[in-house]
């Protein structure tokens, strides 16, 4: 059983980062780094961070404070870059719709402030418990950041749905993957803070599995070219046009 857990742990740690390397190649190959520079930077840094941490882990399985400090620092940088990625996705969404640019930005800022206040309030009133100050701070930051990111990504989808905007394939995939990961991370960081243990295996496995799913979603969307160009008005079926005529006549009545 222990060996099975170990194998699962290594798989969930290594596999997403191998897939991230594939994503990095796809980004460069499809020249998406011009469209998503933050996502490109985030992917590259995640791989670099994994490389350094994995090397430390292999060289000394009974890792000390150095590993934890590096892990916390890496997580902080990753979290900051993920905000950049979300902003990038939101920017992509609004870029095609000038009428919504100003209102969209105001809405995005408003939601960010609201979520930040909620996150700070949750951290203040529900501090959690942990023996290790660094890991306590890391998990608290994790919970606040995931709450913010989850809320922001939800708002991206809500805006997109309300205004019937077409979120292009790649941006859609990035948002979906990140949103899935952020919501699971919010749950697991809350459990870790509630339990007061940083080494609890189950929540960590869940987070790692969610990240794996997130990377799989990214790879699925980035591997295929965007479909938007195939949807044109000329493809509308002929037999619907008479019904449309009646609808428009009603619509244009005064």
Partner 1 sequence: MIITTILVFVALLALSCLLWLAKAHASTSGALKNPAEHLRAVDIEAFRNLVDPDEEEFLRTNLPPADFRKIQRERLRAAVDYVSCAAENAAILVRLADAARRSSDPVTAEAAEKLVNNAIRLRLYALHAIPRLYLGMILPGSRISPARIAESYEQMTRQVVLLGCLQYPTRGVSAAL
Q: Which positions touch partner 1 (CB under 8 A)?
A: 97-100, 103, 122, 126, 143, 146, 150-151, 153-154, 157-158, 160-167, 172, 176, 179-180, 183-184, 186-187, 190-191, 193-195, 228-229, 231-237, 240-248, 250-254
Q: How far is the CB of 8 from partner 1 (least distance, A)?
A: 22
Q: Is 7 exposed, middle or buried (0-12, 13-18, 19+ CB in 10 A)?
A: exposed
Q: What angle do CA 220, 148, 213 make, to 5 degrees?
A: 25
In terms of CB distance, is 16 or 104 closer to partner 1? Answer: 104
Q: How far is the CB of 181 from partner 1 (least distance, A)?
A: 10
CB atoms near residue 52 (< 10 Å): 14
Nearest partner of 222 among 13, 24, 50, 42, judged by Cα: 24
Shortest distance in whole angstroms from residue 72 CB to partner 1: 21
Nearer to partner 1, 55 or 105 (CB): 105
Question: What is the Cβ-side half-sphere exposure of residue 72, based on CA atoms within 13 angstroms?
Answer: 17
For partner 1, which is the closer residue by CB, 17 or 145? 145
Nearer to partner 1 by Cβ, of 111 and 167: the residue is: 167
Q: Find the shortest distance in angstroms from Cβ 158 to partner 1.
A: 7
Burial 189-203 (b: 16+ CB within 10 A, else e): bbbbbeeebbeeeeb
Cα 70 to the center of its chain, rounded Å:
21
Q: Taking the complex as a whole, how short is the minimal distance between the CB of residue 164 and partner 1, in angstroms?
A: 4
Q: Which is nearer to partner 1, 84 or 194 (CB)?
A: 194
Q: At what angle do helices 2-29 and 37-59 cross, to 10 degrees?
A: 150
For residues 3 and 251, which CB has a smaller minimum distance to partner 1 in the complex? 251
Q: How far is the CB of 212 from partner 1 (least distance, A)?
A: 15
Nearer to partner 1, 12 or 186 (CB): 186
Mapping DSSP to helix (H, G, I), strand (E, B) and coil, where does residue 232 land?
coil
**36 class by beta-carbon count within 10 Å (0-12 exposed, 13-18 middle, 19+ buried):** buried
CB of residue 154 to partner 1, shortest distance in Å: 6
Are 104 and 96 spatial neighbours (Cβ–Cβ below 8 Å)?
no
Query: In this structure, what token pair is assigned to residue 106?
Result: 């105001």
Contact by Cβ (8 Å): 122, 147: yes
């Amino acid at each position: 059983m222990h060996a099975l857990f170990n194998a699962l742990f290594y798989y969930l740690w290594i596999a997403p980062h191998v897939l991230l390397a594939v994503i990095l190649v796809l980004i460069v190959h499809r020249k998406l780094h011009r469209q998503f520079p933050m996502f490109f930077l985030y992917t590259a840094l995640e791989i670099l961070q994994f490389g350094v941490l994995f090397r430390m882990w292999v060289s000394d399985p009974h890792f000390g404070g150095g590993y934890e400090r590096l892990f916390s620092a890496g997580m902080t940088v990753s979290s900051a870059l993920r905000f950049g990625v979300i902003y990038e996705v939101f920017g992509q969404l609004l870029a095609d719709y000038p009428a919504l640019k100003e209102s969209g930005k105001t809405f995005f800022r408003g939601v960010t402030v609201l979520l930040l206040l909620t996150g700070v309030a949750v951290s203040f009133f529900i501090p959690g418990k942990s023996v290790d100050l660094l890991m306590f701070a890391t998990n608290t930051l994790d919970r606040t950041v995931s709450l913010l990111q989850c809320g922001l990504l939800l708002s991206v989808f809500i805006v997109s749905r309300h205004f019937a905007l077409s979120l292009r394939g790649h941006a859609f995939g990035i948002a979906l993957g990140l949103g899935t990961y952020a919501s699971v991370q919010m749950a697991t960081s809350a459990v870790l803070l509630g339990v007061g243990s940083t080494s609890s295996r189950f929540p960590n496995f869940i987070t790692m599995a969610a990240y794996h799913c997130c990377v799989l979603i990214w790879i699925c969307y980035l591997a295929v070219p965007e479909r938007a160009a195939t949807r044109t008005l000329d493809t509308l079926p002929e037999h619907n046009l008479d019904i449309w005529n009646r609808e428009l006549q009603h619509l244009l009545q005064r």
